[in-house]
Amino acid sequence: MPGTFSVPTVDLGPYVGDGTASERARLAGEVDDACRTVGFMQVLGHGVPDDVLAGLTGAVDGFFGLPTEVKRGYRVTGANRGYSPPKSESLSLSLGVESASRMNDFFEAFNVGTEARSFPGLDLSDDDYGINLWPAEVPGFRAAVEAYSAHAARVARALTRVFADALGVAPDFFERLTDHSIDVLRMNNYALPEGTVTLDGDLTGMGEHTDFGLVTVLWADRVAGLQVLGADSGWHDVVPVEGALLVNLGDLTARLTNDAWSSTLHRVKPPIVAGTIERRRSVAFFHDGNVDAVINTLPGFLGSDDGPAYQPITVRDHIAAKLAGSRQGKANTAAVREAARVLAAAGRDPRLA
């Protein structure tokens, strides 16, 4: 029923600290329920220090406060690292869904992540992992961002340990999929200088999309804008509770579970207050998995007579198809299930898309 949507709040403490077996079992059950019903969680007990979060927000403000021409000097080329200016992406195309106009997401972003050289001894390519760009114009930017990234990675790996218990697989199942994971930290800024946008139409902060990988850990301002698609096909506002990180599943976890766990569609609508867009910041840590890992549906989720919803795919191929949509304007025709959900929410018949 409309109005009953909520994002469950869980405390990660038993897996971050020394939780008892019963405490861990209780948390695994709570996470399993959240993953089956919503695909999003509010996570407390994550252990990220306040000073690390303060350093992160200072770095975000420092970079996005730079002049436009300076930011454009760090423009993304090749791998998924660097600056994306406003209206250079269309996340809905990562699902093969056309927005009202292509490349119309008005957020700006800056990406860093793991590099091939982070894994000495493995023959990994910069084409997959990318080389980070560090803006010299913002003092302390690299140290602050790397400090938070380390904590976000720790939280993501604690979550996948919970996932393993909840799914009844070996404790090291996700470790084997992520020991050289493509992890990306994306800093987002939803604000435009005065006069650059008309407030008459239906503005898109970030189009409808699912996240690409295994799990996403999100820090966000407590400002409206994030919306999640509920089981009622309605969009619902989600604002983090005080001190919480938001967590959602990605496509690869949905593939592992044959959609028993949800890679939930979400978007960002700009909060307009008194005719102006209120600024909103978020920082997403995408824990995507090893580039060469093959994602197969787990045997325990093959009970349907119809078999698996998804064919096996490498992390590399899945992410490449999604990025080709969001960055290059090439509709991802493989995202049939996700696209159908977007179109149903918009009142459009997916058979006519």
pLDDT digits (tens, 9 = 90+) for 179-211: 999 999 999 998 765 555 555 555 666 778 899
CB distance 12 to 38 below 8 Å: no
Report the alpha-carbon distance of residue 154 to residue 227 in Å, rounded. 26
**Nearest Cα residue to 80 out of 119, 117, 111, 124:** 111
Q: How many residues does the chain have?
A: 353
Lowest mean pLDDT among 31-40, 120-129, 299-308: 299-308
CB distance 191 to 277 below 8 Å: yes
Which of 90 and 296 is assigned the larger pLDDT? 296
Helix (H, G, I), strand (E, B) or coil at 93: helix
pLDDT > 90 fraction of the chain, expressed in percent and rounded: 63
What is the phi/psi pair of residue 266, to 5°?
-150, 165
**Nearest Cα residue to 201 out of 101, 344, 282:** 101
CB distance 67 to 193 below 8 Å: no
Lowest mean pLDDT among 22-26, 58-62, 86-90: 86-90
Range ranked top by mean pLDDT from 88-102, 105-119, 142-156, 309-323? 142-156
Question: Which pLDDT does position 306 carry in this prediction?
Answer: 65
- Taking the alpha carbons of 201, 100, 252, 85 in that order, is the dihedral positive or negative? negative
Q: Which residues contact 133 (CB under 8 A, 6 or more apart)?
A: 74, 81, 82, 83, 112
CATH architecture group of domain 9-352: Sandwich (2.60)
DSSP 63: H
* CA 321-326-330 angle, 5° bins: 60
What pTM, to 2 d.p., does this model score? 0.86
147-165 pLDDT, tens digit per residue, is 999 999 999 999 999 999 9
50-64 and 141-167 helices, crossing angle to 10° = 120
